[in-house]
């Protein structure tokens, strides 16, 4: 996942008053996996659409 998208996700979480744990719950993934995504350790191509939908990103 690109650093730009990670930054967009972080900004969207702040705007919504949500955190990574909330997003992990929405995606039905572990918080550890979500943390790896946010730290650029994993690139879950199959979850990008779900992440964008949960955060109302285009």
Query: Could you tell me the residue range of the domain that residue 47 belongs to?
Result: 3-54
The position carrying tokens 């285009």 is: 58
pTM higher than the cut 0.85: yes
- pLDDT averaged over every residue in the chain: 93
Give the pLDDT score at 1. 76
Q: What is the Cβ-side half-sphere exposure of residue 56, based on CA atoms within 13 angstroms?
A: 6
pLDDT class for 58, splitting at 50, 70, 90? confident
Cα gap 45→52, rounded to integer Å: 12
- Residue ranges in the chain assigned as alpha helix (H): 3-16, 20-27, 31-38, 48-54
Per the structure, the count of domains in the chain is: 1
46 in Cβ contact with 37 (< 8 Å): no
């Amino acid at each position: 996942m690109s650093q730009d998208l990670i930054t967009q996700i972080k900004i969207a979480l702040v705007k919504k008053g949500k955190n990574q744990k909330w997003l992990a719950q929405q995606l039905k993934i572990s918080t550890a996996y979500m943390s790896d995504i946010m730290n650029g350790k994993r690139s879950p191509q199959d979850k990008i659409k779900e992440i964008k939908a949960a955060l109302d990103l285009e």
